[in-house]
Chains A and B, each alone.
Chain A
């Protein structure tokens, strides 16, 4: 229970506000005077609720707010006590109620006591408040119902004539509490959460309440990440195929172009490429939307890796496949599209998926140049809250995409291995062949399709995971 009195600068402010309130009160009083039910001793001037801390400009239900109610004692009346009835479902802990009484522009000391009783609070004054006084009641730490809606504050008051009914206050609009807010509120009240958070590590890295709000706050960033990589990747695949074709082309110049493109992009960090594009283009007066530029950089960067994957994939198809197609009279285009590409696609799916995972994760680098993606949101939220939990939420956002894809890579690999098992004689596996679950980036600088050495090394590099049965070649040697 707190009876307060403002002084100094605050007092000045309060006085100015009081004048405004008074003006308002007079306005209300005048308007009420016209109304038939105007024979009241205490008129309600206003009732407002302060926006919640995290609620932006609105007032959210089931979250702490401060209710301010103001009324004016009419001429010739005295008010000895006021009972405010809060809207049904509203709660307050009743610990802090502040009462201010203004007479004209002068703040007057009052004494009395306040009593909370369920959803109502009764303020009893030792000395009746005289006519013309403005009474302001502030009830802190009260909560409106979670459902939201328009609420009014009603109540009763005592005058010398006995108990009178207070006119309903203007409506207060309450925003419905989101499920998220209810979860946070619920978590706030849980004993295990308090215990959890009391551990310095858990409280700093995995604070449950913050984790929940982080998910909601990071969602737009996550969607942008997905959007960037999902839009960029088809372009990357197309560009990658183009440069793969250039790299296995017969023309020296085309090969050189592909080699330069691929090697420069693979030989420099994506981070650097992002800086060059994001800071270089504006200096040339070229201003592209950040998100679009992000897509472009990601697509170009990925295309270099995909070009190598496709190139190695195409060259890993045994020469016998080309020969068999040729012996049927197929031309080069028919061979590529009916025989080689379909087999290449199956072989490169695991490697391409791995590259997709890398690209998706690498969108985080775009946060350094102001793209509002997942990392950016997490960084901002961590700065605001001083807690690492938003980063953990970001990690979970990355993992919910990458973990299933990693699983897909494994399944596809084992499927291909199974379906190709026993598929005719194949080159003997080298001593240093890769583990079955390891996806290797193919070796560089193996241009020639016709060279048997290249063929073998490319096969080792790329298709080792897919080959498990190579015994049949031994049989050939025996027959010979």
Chain B
């Protein structure tokens, strides 16, 4: 387990959700579910409590509860429209929860002011399905801009970090290319480098390979696998890549109809799904 990073002063937690108390409850209740070894007193890095989200009259998330522990790689599976992406986008407040609580590193994030939200987001990286690279900037500038504008790093520092991260995703030779000159797979790897360069506490992947041609998927998955195995980064991955889920995930979460239907270690969930809906879904994919 990677050590928890030193964080800045914590924002006060609402009394109703005292962090230690919440963590203790979570520790007790999730122990079996997470199949994860963690020390007593350790807090989940992401804690989702009774999360509800509605778009107009449509309920997308119904009372979702989920804890993610430091260094854990959680893969979220489920059919289209099951609320996977919405849950992920709630974690960095790209979507505002309708009800419920989300705590990141014991800090309540719902109901935050805009400034606090921006501070939160620098600690929660996100990789999008459609890459969302900035097309007017080169690959390296894409990786640098967050560091210089948000982390206020010097240009030289940001440049060094960008070079390092681009090298890590195997694109050092594409540093001066603009996104339109890169393949989809390369763009997504730049996007991963851009997110990792911010050194977030949690990295969210929203269907990172769904927009890619099949032959490009592998390169991106390799980068993610490398990240999971060697960096100790906490990752929450929404994907349809079953192979990746089985090989890399510490835990697989299956969602359907806006609720978490089943979760557990990948081998157990894949080979012996407890919920019939999970079995049906895995059967249709397989």
Contact = CB atoms under 8 A, between A and B. Distances in A.
A111 interface: no
Interface in B165-179: 178-179
Main secondary structure of the interface of A (DSSP, over half): helix
B132 interface: yes
Interface stretch (A88-96, A389-397, A472-480): A472-480
Contacts of B104: none
B180 A422 contact: yes
Nearest to B212: A475
Given A321-B132, A422-B180, A329 B146 contact: yes
A474 to B, nearest CB: 10
Contact of A425 (B118, B125, B211, B240): B211
Given A338-B145, A423-B180, A480-B210, 4 more contacts: A324-B191, A327-B121, A424-B187, A475-B213
Contacts of B198: 328-329
A330 B118 CA distance: 6
Contacts of A318: 130, 132
A329 B130 contact: no
B107 to A, nearest CB: 15
Contact of B135 (A325, A328, A423, A476): A423
A338 B134 CA distance: 10
B7 interface: no
B94 interface: yes
B-side interface size class: 35 or more
B122 A329 contact: yes
B114 A324 contact: no
A328 B211 contact: no
Given A329-B119, A425-B211, A419 B187 contact: no
B84 to A, nearest CB: 12
17 contacts: A318-B132, A320-B130, A325-B134, A328-B125, A328-B145, A328-B194, A328-B198, A329-B146, A329-B198, A330-B118, A330-B146, A330-B149, A331-B114, A420-B135, A425-B130, A475-B211, A476-B210
B123 to A, nearest CB: 8
Nearest to B79: A480
Interface of B: 80, 92, 94, 114-115, 118-126, 128-136, 145-146, 149-150, 178-180, 184, 187, 191, 194-195, 198, 209-213, 240
A422 B181 CA distance: 8
A438 interface: no
Nearest to B126: A327
Contacts of B194: 328
A475 to B, nearest CB: 6
A424 B94 contact: no
B142 to A, nearest CB: 9
Contact of B240 (A421, A475, A479): A479
A342 interface: yes
B80 A480 contact: yes
A424 B131 contact: yes
Contact of A419 (B114, B178, B212): B178
A32 interface: no
A53 interface: no
Determine which residue in B123, B128, B146, B213 has the highest number of CB atoms from chain A within 10 A of its CB, and name it. Answer: B146
A165 interface: no
A268 to B, nearest CB: 37
A339 interface: yes
A267 to B, nearest CB: 34
Nearest to A472: B211
A320 B145 CA distance: 16
B150 A419 contact: no
Contacts of A480: 80, 210, 240
Contacts of A423: 133, 135, 179-180
Contacts of A479: 209-211, 240
Interface in A151-209: none
Contact of A328 (B114, B121, B210): B121
Interface of A: 318, 320-321, 323-332, 334, 338-339, 342-343, 346, 419-425, 472, 475-476, 479-480
Contacts of A329: 118-123, 146, 150, 198
A342 B141 CA distance: 14
Contacts of A342: 136
A480 B240 CA distance: 8
Nearest to B194: A328
- Which of B125, B136, B194, B209 lies at the interface centre, i.e. has the most chain A CB atoms within 10 A of its CB? B136
A420 B150 contact: no
Contact of B180 (A328, A331, A420, A475): A420
A475 B188 CA distance: 15
B214 to A, nearest CB: 9
A476 B134 contact: no
A327 B130 contact: no
A343 B136 contact: yes
Contacts of A420: 135, 180
Contacts of B123: 329
Nearest to A423: B180
Contacts of A472: 184, 211
A327 B149 contact: no
Contacts of A327: 92, 94, 121, 124-126, 128, 195
A472 B150 CA distance: 32
B136 A320 contact: no
A106 to B, nearest CB: 93
Contact of B115 (A331, A339, A343, A424): A331
Given A326-B94, A329-B121, A419-B180, A320 B128 contact: yes
Closest 3 A/B residue pairs (Cβ): A329-B122, A328-B146, A324-B132
Contacts of B128: 320, 323-324, 327
Nearest to B115: A331
Contacts of A422: 180
A342 B137 CA distance: 10
